[in-house]
């Protein structure tokens, strides 16, 4: 017997007619449906990316309809800029964290990934921890694994990278990368921009690691020892989680940009064909960041750089 039926049967001589009872049941049903619709609407406008432990990392007032895709005009603007920078080999990938495949611009062949690939090593080691096959307090070099993870990502320490790669194992790194849909051999250290964007997209969406480890790794990707690339080209109010890479003539940055609940992976790989790193590569990364942000986040005003 329903709650409403119990209430009616407890009142003497007040049983409703069948038609009246039907109307009441319909009223209750409509109320229930309305509550479900309201609850669904509230959930729909909430942030879709699970970042437990990163309170305050995004503005509180998320737009009801976050940007879902880059406008068609972005292709022309990026192509124009790449034409101006013809002296460099440049590859760009852009992927909506909640969307499908990445948009790509420029050269999409594999680059020497430099230190951007440290994110794969970090995720692989955290995964071993989650499976109980390693610990963050395991001794590694002069310190423990937790120290080496932070040093590798936040300070881009190569000694820490080597220790962690050895701890995971080179064949295991190859297998881990394959398990997340990426072709990667640490001895060659080659990645396409789209592959790196896929790694960042999965990390930020919480698909690679548990919430605690996701938050910790993303925390290391802020306030790093080099904020002069994508962060310097980014505008105020946009959260940037990134890993830069520098090697010989290569200069890269790979980041997640988050503005009020809209989250995109942006990877910019550059190579100076003439050899050695050129100052114009950093300028190119900052300029591309500005173009992308203006296209993705219309409320952000051009020129309002956060430094």
Taking the chain (307 residues) in consecutive chunks of 10 residues, what is each chunk's mean pLDDT? 33 34 40 41 37 37 43 89 94 92 93 98 98 98 98 98 98 98 97 97 97 98 98 95 97 96 95 86 97 82 46
Burial class, 68, CB count within 10 angstroms (exposed 0-12 / middle 13-18 / buried 19+): exposed
231 CB-contact burial (10 Å; exposed 0-12 / middle 13-18 / buried 19+): buried
How far apart (Å, rounded) are the C-alpha atoms in residues 258 and 49? 10
> Domain residue spans in the chain?
3-44, 73-296
CB of 209 closer than 8 Å to CB of 203: yes
CA-wise closest residue to 96 among 120, 67, 119: 67
CATH entry, 73-296, from 3.30.70.270, 3.40.50.300, 3.40.710.10, 3.30.450.30: 3.40.710.10
Give Cα 279 distance to the centre of its chain: 27
Per-residue confidence (pLDDT) for residue 30, from 0 to 100: 39
Give the per-residue pLDDT at 293: 94
Q: What does the block give as tokens for 181?
A: 């849909």
Give the pLDDT score at 71.
Answer: 76
Secondary structure (3-state) at 32: helix
Residue 239 belongs to what H/E stretch? strand 239-247
Give the model's pLDDT for residue 300.
53
Tell me how many degrees the CA angle 168-171-177 measures, rounded to the nearest 5: 80
Query: The whole model's pTM is what?
Result: 0.76
The C-alpha atoms of residue 113 and residue 271 are separated, in whole angstroms, by: 11
Rounded to 5°, the CA angle 73-269-178 comes to 105
Look at residue 58 in the predicted model and tell me its pLDDT.
36
CA dist., res. 286 & res. 206, Å (int): 27
């Amino acid at each position: 017997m329903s709650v409403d039926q119990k209430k009616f049967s407890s009142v003497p001589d007040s049983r409703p007619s069948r038609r009246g009872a039907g109307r009441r049941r319909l009223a209750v049903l409509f109320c229930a449906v309305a509550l479900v619709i309201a609850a669904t609407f509230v959930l729909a406008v909430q942030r879709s990316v699970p970042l437990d432990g990163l309170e305050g990392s995004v503005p509180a007032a998320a737009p009801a309809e976050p940007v879902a895709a880059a406008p068609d005009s972005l292709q022309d603007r990026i192509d124009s800029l790449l034409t101006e920078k013809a002296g460099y080999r440049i590859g760009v990938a852009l992927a909506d964290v909640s969307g499908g495949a990445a948009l790509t611009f420029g050269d999409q062949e594999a680059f020497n990934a430099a230190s951007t690939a440290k994110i794969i090593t970090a995720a692989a080691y955290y995964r071993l921890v989650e499976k109980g096959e390693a610990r963050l307090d395991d001794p590694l070099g002069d310190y423990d694994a937790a120290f080496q993870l932070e040093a590798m990502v936040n300070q881009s320490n190569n000694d820490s990278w080597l220790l962690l790669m050895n701890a995971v194992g080179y064949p295991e790194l190859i297998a881990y990368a394959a398990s997340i849909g990426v072709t990667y051999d640490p001895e060659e250290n080659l990645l396409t921009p789209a592959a790196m964007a896929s790694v960042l997209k999965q990390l930020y969406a919480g698909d690679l690691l548990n919430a605690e480890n996701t938050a910790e790794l993303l925390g290391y990707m802020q306030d790093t020892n080099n904020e002069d690339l994508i962060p310097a080209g980014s505008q105020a109010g946009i959260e940037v989680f990134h890993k830069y890479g520098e090697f010989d003539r290569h200069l890269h940055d790979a980041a997640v940009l988050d503005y009020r609940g809209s989250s995109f992976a942006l990877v910019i790989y550059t190579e100076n064909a003439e050899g050695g790193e050129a100052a114009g590569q950093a300028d190119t990364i900052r300029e591309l960041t500005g173009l992308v942000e203006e296209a993705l986040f219309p409320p952000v005003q051009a020129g309002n750089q956060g430094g």
